[in-house]
Amino acid sequence: MTVAKKAVVAFLTTLCVLLLTPLAACGGNGGSPSGASGSASGVASAPAAGLISVGFSQVSVESDWRIANTASIKEALCEANGYQLIFKDAQQKLENQLEAVREFIAAAVDYIVIAPITETGWDEVLQEAQAADIPVILVGRMIDVSDDSLYTCWVGSDFFAEGSKAAKWMEQSLGSGPLNIVHIQGTLGSSAQIGRSAGLEEGLARNSNWQLVAQGTGDFSETNGRDFMERTLRQNLNINLIYCENDNMAFGAMEALDAARIPYGRSSDITLVSFDGTRRGLENTLAGRINLDVECNPLHGPRVAEIIQQMEKGLTPIKRSFMTEAAFEAATITQAQIDGRDY
Ligand code: GYE
């Protein structure tokens, strides 16, 4: 950026100052997974000299995964590491994300980081970011845009691979008997939902004796997962397996099953499959309440910091980097595996 452009940027930054919130300290806390929370608010100051300013639009605080993801980004992009992070919680609404990104553009931040809620709806705002010459780094979910040059790079998970892993485990572990499946989906239109649902759909296409007996979204939150399961249980269906597209919805489903005194998990006829592999998810796997928990790694912070450092040196980062991920079974998971994890 030229000196003249820097001066304009500094002026615009002060204009936008009241709209944005900087996070000064390292090791910020992501909040609690209640499903809703207030947007970050407060008074920002123009970026301190020498700091790299980064605007981060996060989905919300809907899950344990999300909280770990926010904490990882805040920790990596803290002031002590040379960053001024402006954090905005979109409360699961795309329109809030678009607004946040526009605020970041107006504030002329050095980088924009987005954890996109849905895949579609991004072309226009990313064209604006591109016109303002601000690199955009995507984390977690993917987006579907007409032109890939609208974002600099992406770091996240292969959600279809996660879903396929679950479906293959179901084929191998549950034998050839018929399977009546309840499918609790994540936020519709998010790539985490699209990929994990596609993995199950492939399994359904391969196994004619599998059938969906109920399907609906729990929006990745515990409360909505519980409500969906409660409604499903009222239909008195014959259920063999519950495929929950994240741990928090699985916790919600478990609450509904517990309340109805319906056994599930390793020592019952109802198998519970979940995604994320959060600490609480894995504790439930060890306890036999979840049969399979497919990991989704939320620790994007170090990779995002590395990408920014590469770009500061004029290098071009890898366009897409996938996180390494495993899967944990109730039959084999150990306490030591849980103890060794960071989230
Ligand atoms: O599985 C879920 C979260 O996008 C990978 O979103 C993420 C998903 C994750 O709320 O728990």
CATH at 70: 3.40.50.2300
Tokens of residue 256, six digits: 């509904």
Is the pLDDT confidence value at 46 over 80? no
User: What is the DSSP code string of 171-196?
Assistant: HHHSTTS-EEEEEEE-STTSHHHHHH
17 and 71 inside one domain: yes
The verdict on residue 324 lying in a domain is: no
Using a 6 Å cutoff on CB, does residue 65 contact ligand 1? yes
Residue 18 has pLDDT above 60, yes or no: no
User: In terms of domains, do 29 and 135 share one?
Assistant: yes
Q: Which atom of ligand 1 is nearest to the CA of 191?
A: 4
Whole-number Å distance between alpha carbons of 240 and 263: 11
Q: Does 138 sit in the ligand 1 pocket, CB within 6 Å?
A: no
Pick from 140, 167, 183, 118: nearest CA to 294: 167
- Same-domain status, 143 and 170: no
Do 169 and 240 lie in one domain? The reply is: yes
- pLDDT, tens digit, 9 for 90 and up, residues 284-318: 999 999 999 999 999 999 999 999 999 999 999 99
pLDDT for 4 equals 45
Mean pLDDT computed over every residue of the chain: 90
Mean pLDDT of 38-60: 72
Q: Using CA of residue 319, residue 96, residue 187, residue 253, what is the dihedral sign?
A: positive
How many structural domains does the chain have?
Answer: 2
107 lines ligand 1 (CB under 6 A): no
Does 9 have pLDDT greater than 70? no
Q: Separation of 93 CA from ligand 1 center, angstroms? A: 15
The atom number, within ligand 1, closest to the CA of 278 reads 11
Q: Residue 317: inside a domain, yes or no?
A: no
Nearest to 291 by CA among 238, 328, 337: 328
pLDDT given at position 47: 62
Residue 248's nearest CA partner among 284, 286, 199, 299 is 284
Question: Which pLDDT value is given to residue 85?
Answer: 98
Relative to the CA of 275, which ligand 1 atom is closest? 1
In a domain, residue 130? The reply is: yes
Per-residue confidence band for 179, with pLDDT thresholds at 50, 70 and 90: very high
Per-residue pLDDT, 45: 52
Same domain, 268 and 121: no
Distances (CA, A) of 215 to 24, 176, 225, 233, 285: 43, 22, 11, 12, 23
Whether 140 and 190 map to the same domain: the answer is no
What is the reported pLDDT for 11?
A: 40
Q: Do the domain assignments include residue 322?
A: no
CB 182 within 8 A of CB 242: yes
CA angle 176, 263, 164 (to 5 degrees): 40
Residues 65 and 136 in one domain: yes
Question: Does the beta carbon of 118 lie inside 6 Å of ligand 1?
Answer: no
Beta bridge partners of 83: 52
- Tell me if 212 is assigned to some domain: yes
* Sign of the dihedral defined by the CA atoms of residues 10, 13, 18, 20, in that order: negative
CB-based contact 247:63 (threshold 8 Å): yes
* Together in a domain, 19 and 153: yes
Q: Does a structural domain hold residue 39?
A: yes
109 lies in which domain range? 3-157+298-312
- Asked if 275 and 214 sit in the same domain, the reply is yes
Q: Are residues 8 and 152 in the same domain?
A: yes
Task: Judge whether 319 lies within some domain.
Answer: no
Pairing of strands 153-156, 179-185: unpaired
CA distance 18 to 317: 32
Confidence of residue 40 (pLDDT cuts 50, 70, 90): very low
Residue from 37, 65, 118, 290 to probe ligand 1 pocket by mutation (most atoms less than 8 Å from CB): 65
318 assigned to some structural domain: no
130 and 37 part of one domain: yes
Q: Please check the confidence at residue 35 and state whether its pLDDT lies above 60.
A: no
Q: Which amino acid is at 313?
A: K
Q: Are residues 173 and 119 in the same domain?
A: no
